Structure 1
């Protein structure tokens, strides 16, 4: 398939994923049954963003214009996909598909249903493409690897894939810098950055930095936008557990029914908890954060706009490593 044909195939996929086909609705149900974190609302949001930012014809053509044509000498690329949010491995698969390599994909047990359906649907429509993506439990003897996991699993990936070209991704998270001038709308948009997908994504904000003397009242009120998450038993269990730990430790905290704010030096926070810290110089802080290997996205005035953290485009590569450049350079 040429690039033109592949873009057309992806546009068709976008039309399908944004529609109401009964088979797709059944797959959504199965995905939620397999993973209780994948609620219908969050599956729909993920599909909506994929269709809008990844599967738009003009966006795809503009993005691809910056890279060489698909290789005439395809390699086999092993991709170890994450599963923290619905279809989080889609972008890696997309890059492999468009670069012309054979993708050997190891799906996360947390996100098997949705990705498998996408691959099956493409194979049904385009039988000539079916062998370009193979879902496998073992990824041996590939020519290159892309693997996403925790800091612990990354050490194993580095060891096993050391002799091959590779991209190894580790734990990352996102941070917001507030200056105290944020509007109610911006604070509610920040709530999206924190709460979407229950905060499980690397682009979810898990810590905010505020100036000394900051008044948290409006922020806590804005987070009531997600009061309904307290009705989700898995999320509520995390909320109750973390609140109990905070109370047992006698730590100061602020909370409403769905989020707990705790001052902490760590930019990583557990589910249902948002860490905060103070700063004296926003510019110095931003420079330090952007130099960190733990940061995926910086949100705030002058950075990623509030509410946009979970809307990455085709060029917003995980860990800042250009996946398409890596693949087209093999």
Structure 2
């Protein structure tokens, strides 16, 4: 059995849906696209991705791409339009002590046993790696899609120093030619055209990458405090998942009873550590931005029962909290007068 076969079989043994292999060559086309488009400068400026893995690991020869089918359990209704499903699945940048963190470590340990030098901290373009490794295609909404499970996939990439057998890239477009459902449904019109996104209009970006959410976007964010699934939820390529009857996620069922907007706005350290961090540790490390996001959702709710909590927030020492609480109060009171 070749080392390539061993790697693929062990990945599937661990529960990964697909395992693909590609070269560690530069991602020149991806870099060219980033540089040619507006509003993407923050990706390169903040080193969010590395387009030249060999600069960080001169011995790099291959990239092992692992696909996880993360949507295998149902999501409580009150969380479904509040938090992105990939975060509720606790698989995005998994913490070391989590199930998915342990799964990834087992894969790294196995590669080490095979004599590979492994780097799991080189953040190559994940979707492009998956397409180059033949395990996914990229959809019009910019998500990666895998045959059989759609776009509800988490992509992990491991850069190693062994030359392996490389898979045939799957760079073709598999979206229906006349379909624009993802573009039409996007609450903030972040999808400008097929395969082209303005990230600074994306709800996720405004949830965690910027302190000041433009006034014209706040209403459009709706109830979403940590990511958005709308373009995936309407996609015909995800029907295979949407039709499945899934078992409950008992952990989410437990915490969903406590994950309310007032609880997030008024959270103490214990609530933050026990209810927020386990699922929303990805981009925000302090309670402040979660509180701001909860305030925006309150303002968009039309629910006047939130007014006392917002009035209390107006007394906060944090100017950001006061600013957004004032906006939310004006919006709720204005709606109630109509």
State the TM-score, normalized to the length of structure 1: 0.27
Which of the two has greater strand per residue?
1
Q: TM-score, normalised by structure 2?
A: 0.26
